[in-house]
Structure 1
Amino acid sequence: MKILILGGTAEARQLANRLVALGHDVITSLAGRTQDPILPEGGLRMGPFGGIPGLCAYLRVAGIERLVDATHPYAGLISINAVAAAQASGVRLVRYMRPPWTPLPGQTWMLVESAQEAADALPGAATVLLTTGHAGLETFLERDDCRFQVRVIEAPAFEMPPHAELILSRPPYGLEDEMALLRRHGVTHLVSKNSGGGQTAAKLEAARRMNVQVIMIARPLYGPALEAASIEEAIEALDLPESLAGL
């Protein structure tokens, strides 16, 4: 069966590898924003589709029989476009995303809907560990009454202002290292997107232990799709032929 995976996450890569091993014709689409990504097994497509019409056209021309949205929970419009394209083309869509985090026992988060709301919620003179990626970064850096430790995998296209320091690193992160980071910089606030998963979850436990206030940006709304939280659930939701599914 021919399957298109909208990827860019470890979950997408693992699912592609599993489906290829089961004998399916798998193409993974990457946005192309990350340099030197770890590539999955199977075919590869780079770059945007051109909105809903472009994705519909690709599904039709490539003969795609199943569509998997395994993008980052904050990947933008692609998840919304996937819903519309699947509905228009009649291709079965499965959304495979890691479950969101929830506050730890004894921990209270400040829940917000956007980067702007998160930036506005910071008190003056806050020292912030910012782990929200590149999107909306300028919004936070306008708060020159705060200090920021900006942790990203790749450097943004502009230099950090005097009140911000860049931390270039790639997960996973361990609890002891996260606590040391918070202690070293005197962090008072952690701003995060609710990405879920285990690779970066240690920052939440570190924040709980260090009494650091967590400001959590909620996930966007994507539209209806079959939901899966594991590889096994995703394969089952894809409703693959039994001879190939291996279930």
Structure 2
Amino acid sequence: MAATLFDTSAMEKPRILILGGTTEARELASRLADDVRYDTAISLAGRTADPKPQPVKARIGGFGGADGLAHFLRDENIALLIDATHPFAARISHNATEAAQRTSTKVLALRRPQWQLEPGDRWTPVESVAEAVHALGPIPRRVFLAIGRQEAFHFETAPEHSYVIRSVDPVTPPLRLPDQEAILATGPFAEADEAALLENRKIDVIVAKNSGGSATYGKIAAARRLGIEVVMVERRKPADVPAVGTCDEALDLIAHWLAPA
């Protein structure tokens, strides 16, 4: 697949590889797709069973850690690596930084700004999903899990609570919890719909990751309106690479970095 990922008839064009999986990654790829100055491709981890079509050539699957990504960057003569993965995809971001350093490849992180506490919010900040489990306390509660499926298994250690678990794909293997409801859905989620869900399910507390962006902010705004507590998993310190918060900023920096000599 790597041999046909880029346009071999346009070797003079700088090659851009986007590590994707987010709305921002797809938007950036769309805006670069018709830009004749660059040869752009996107790589997806393959964790979603039915990923959306991409506006540029796409590669599906992992690279084999920092070593594999470094080989790919070198073999494919990548001029710029853009880390536009999920804000909580710490491992791939670390691998991207390390691989770029090894190969002297320019690297840019596209990170959406995180949500900020506003008047009326009832946030309990925690540093990890495991810590979020303990933050629920021992008294049984109705919990809305909105953290994706990868780390939902942590809550098997707190079976006293009732859970409503929303994810894009089913949690596998199924959680061993006596009282759980699964909702399969893909954002964006409107605030009014989120408020209705929280009220209909009689939710006492939400567990969420501070992902930022507008697509999943509806539940945070709805919780504020309804006075519902949010156990908020905060982001870890990001990799120390040049970073921007919007596609416009990314495009400006790309044009500056990859300007013809």
TM-score normalised according to structure 2 size: 0.89
Report if aligned partners of 1:188, 1:213 keep a CA contact under 8 Å in 2. yes
Q: How many residues align?
A: 243
Alignment partners' CA distance in 1, 2:18 and 2:258:
18
Map 1:192-211 to 2 at 5 A: 192-211=208-227
Give the letter for the 1:132 counterpart: I
Q: Which residue of 2 is the match for residue 30 of structure 1?
A: 44
Q: Which residue of 2 is the match for residue 227 of structure 1?
A: 243
Per-residue CA deviation, residues 84-132 of structure 1 (Å, 9 max, x unaligned), is: 1111111111100211011122223111011110000102211111000
Alignment partners' CA distance in 2, 1:241 and 1:119:
46
Deviates more, 1:189-198 or 1:157-166: 157-166
Q: Which residue of 1 is the match for residue 101 of structure 2?
A: 87
Q: Which residue of 2 is the match for residue 191 of structure 1?
A: 207
Alignment partners' CA distance in 2, 1:37 and 1:223:
26
Report if aligned partners of 1:83, 1:222 keep a CA contact under 8 Å in 2. no
Give the letter for the 2:85 counterpart: T
Aligned counterpart for 1:125 among listed residues 136, 140, 156: 140
Q: Which residue of 2 is the match for residue 98 of structure 1?
A: 112
Is the aligned partner of 1:21 residue 2:37? no
Give the letter for the 2:149 counterpart: H
Report if aligned partners of 2:110, 2:245 keep a CA contact under 8 Å in 1. yes
Deviates more, 1:227-236 or 1:37-46: 37-46
Which consecutive segments of 4 or more residues in structure 1 shift more than 6 A? Answer: none
Alignment partners' CA distance in 2, 1:29 and 1:232:
21
Deviates more, 1:181-190 or 1:230-239: 230-239
TM-score normalised according to structure 1 size: 0.94
Is the aligned partner of 1:2 residue 2:15? yes
Per-residue CA deviation, residues 168-213 of structure 1 (Å, 9 max, x unaligned), is: 1111111111111111111110100011110110101110111110
| C-alpha RMSD over aligned residues | 1.4
Q: Which residue of 1 is the match for residue 190 of structure 2?
A: 174
Shift of 1:40: 1.9
Unaligned runs of 5+ in 2: 1-13
Alignment partners' CA distance in 2, 1:39 and 1:48:
18
Deviates more, 1:19-28 or 1:50-59: 19-28
Unaligned runs of 5+ in 1: none
Per-residue CA deviation, residues 209-229 of structure 1 (Å, 9 max, x unaligned), is: 111101110112332111111
What is the percentage of aligned positions where both structures have the same residue?
38
Q: Residue 172 of structure 1 aligns to a residue in which SS?
A: coil
